[in-house]
């Protein structure tokens, strides 16, 4: 009788190797996706989504598992997310956009100084931290809109990486009581997106605090001039204008860390327009302009001609995030682009309209 030796087929081993490799690939891919999803996310303590996460707010949808992921288009309110979708980051979490007087748990808060805290899953280069509050007389039973909001606090980070916990000192308007909504917007520096958080508050007036604080209070959004101060850590693109040591400078090309006045990348434009006129040389007070002949009031500079403040689009120029004027409309580049005419690239193209 001949002994038979059973030779195992190689196919099962091959299949096993393929299956094993496929499984490993899926694990790695999922890990990368989750890591990317977790990057640059954060949320505000006691926000609507935070209370969903803590199961205080009910029927919130998937945001109860990821209150840090409410991300939408940045540059709010000029661009940003649509009206009616502000709380949910542009439709990503529609349950958050439900708005009635009694829908959400409210946090007790007084007018006056208040510190907002952001908790980061992972930080990201930051443009601004903005805080808005609903106006007196807003309708709490209507979807949240831009026209409902007024800016009361701002911090600028100029592209810096924030710590894992961010604290912003603000002054809550001390002239209203009852239910109000605060909208916090973390605007990212090196993408076109921002993270949105809303806080439902039951406000009371604090008689020990002023109704309106003195200018320059912590977070005062009016403390910034029309021309920003030069910041060493911030990158600047060609054409950007800054203030430094009482002078106005314009970048000739991309630059970072090169101080105006010490490097040829900066072109001197002139003196700070906000500086007061020399009080020792006033206009002759004995020879005023004749008050009977004012400048003709029917011929002002057209306030709607916003294109005068921005350069015209140039087909030969590279754009990354600049605003340009083209065919009577302002446009902002969403990413690197050259030769693609604004208004012809469609909804998902590199140019998006800007409404001043």
Residue 128 lies in a domain: yes
- My answer on whether 265 and 348 are in the same domain is no
Cβ contact 313:324 at 8 Å:
yes
Predicted confidence at residue 347, as pLDDT, reads 64
- My answer on whether 54 and 135 are in the same domain is yes
Q: What is the CATH number of the domain that holds 186?
A: 2.70.50.50
Contacts for 45 with CB less than 8 Å, ≥ 6 apart? 116, 117, 118, 119
Q: Is 252 exposed, middle or buried (0-12, 13-18, 19+ CB in 10 A)?
A: middle
Q: Given a cut of 70, is residue 35 above it in pLDDT?
A: no
- My answer on whether 176 and 265 are in the same domain is no
The total number of structural domains in the chain stands at 3
Predicted confidence at residue 40, as pLDDT, reads 55
- Across 6-82, where does the E strand assignment appear? 42-44, 71-73
Q: Which of 200, 198, 152 is nearest to 178 (CA)?
A: 200
Residue 8 lies in a domain: no
- My answer on whether 108 and 247 are in the same domain is no
- For residue 267, the enclosing domain spans 225-276
Predicted confidence at residue 292, as pLDDT, reads 44
Residue 217 lies in a domain: yes
Q: Given a cut of 70, is residue 306 above it in pLDDT?
A: no
- My answer on whether 188 and 310 are in the same domain is no
| Mean pLDDT, rounded, for 231-242 | 85
Mean pLDDT of the chain: 82
Q: Given a cut of 50, is residue 30 above it in pLDDT?
A: no
Indicate the residue among 257, 276, 295 that finishes a domain: 276
- My answer on whether 104 and 178 are in the same domain is yes
Residue 260 lies in a domain: yes
- My answer on whether 323 and 183 are in the same domain is no
In the structure, what pLDDT confidence band is assigned to residue 32 with cuts at 50, 70 and 90?
A: very low
- To which H or E segment does residue 50 belong? helix 48-53
- My answer on whether 217 and 233 are in the same domain is no
- My answer on whether 265 and 347 are in the same domain is no
Q: Given a cut of 90, is residue 140 above it in pLDDT?
A: yes
Rounded Cα distance between 90 and 79, Å, is 11
Q: What is the CATH number of the domain that holds 331?
A: 2.10.10.20
In the structure, what pLDDT confidence band is assigned to residue 92 with cuts at 50, 70 and 90?
A: very high
- My answer on whether 199 and 95 are in the same domain is yes
Global pTM reads 0.64
Predicted confidence at residue 333, as pLDDT, reads 81
- My answer on whether 65 and 210 are in the same domain is yes
In the structure, what pLDDT confidence band is assigned to residue 346 with cuts at 50, 70 and 90?
A: confident
């Amino acid at each position: 009788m001949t002994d038979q030796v059973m030779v195992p087929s190689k196919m099962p081993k091959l299949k096993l190797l393929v299956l094993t490799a496929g499984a490993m690939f899926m694990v790695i891919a999922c890990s990368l996706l989750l890591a990317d999803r977790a990057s640059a996310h954060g949320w505000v303590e006691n926000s609507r989504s935070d209370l969903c996460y803590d199961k205080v707010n009910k029927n919130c949808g998937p945001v109860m598992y990821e209150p840090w992921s409410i991300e939408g288009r940045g540059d709010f309110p000029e661009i940003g997310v649509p009206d009616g979708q502000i709380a949910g980051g542009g439709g990503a979490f529609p349950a958050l956009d439900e708005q009635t007087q009694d829908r959400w748990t409210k946090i007790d808060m007084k007018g006056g100084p208040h510190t907002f805290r952001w908790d980061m899953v992972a930080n990201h280069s930051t443009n601004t931290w903005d805080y808005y509050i609903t106006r007196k007389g807003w309708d709490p039973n209507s979807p949240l809109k831009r026209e409902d909001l007024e800016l009361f606090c701002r911090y600028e980070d100029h592209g810096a990486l924030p710590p894992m916990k961010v604290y912003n000192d603000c002054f809550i308007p001390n002239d209203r009581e009852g239910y109000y909504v605060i909208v916090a917007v973390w605007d990212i520096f090196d993408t076109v997106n921002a993270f949105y958080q809303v806080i439902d508050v039951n406000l009371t007036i604090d008689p020990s605090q002023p109704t309106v604080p003195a200018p320059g209070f912590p977070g005062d959004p009016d403390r910034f001039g029309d021309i920003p101060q030069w910041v060493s850590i911030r990158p600047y693109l060609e054409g950007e204008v800054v203030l430094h040591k009482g002078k106005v400078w314009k970048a000739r090309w991309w630059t970072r860390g090169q101080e105006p006045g010490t490097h040829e990348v900066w072109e001197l434009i002139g003196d700070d327009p906000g500086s007061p006129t020399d009080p020792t040389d006033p206009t002759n007070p004995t020879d005023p302009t004749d008050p009977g002949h004012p400048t003709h009031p029917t011929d002002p500079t057209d306030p709607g001609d916003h294109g005068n403040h921005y350069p015209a689009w140039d087909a030969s120029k590279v754009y990354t995030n600049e605003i340009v004027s083209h065919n009577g409309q302002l446009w902002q580049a969403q990413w690197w682009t050259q030769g693609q005419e604004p208004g012809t690239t469609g909804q998902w193209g590199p140019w998006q309209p800007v409404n001043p």
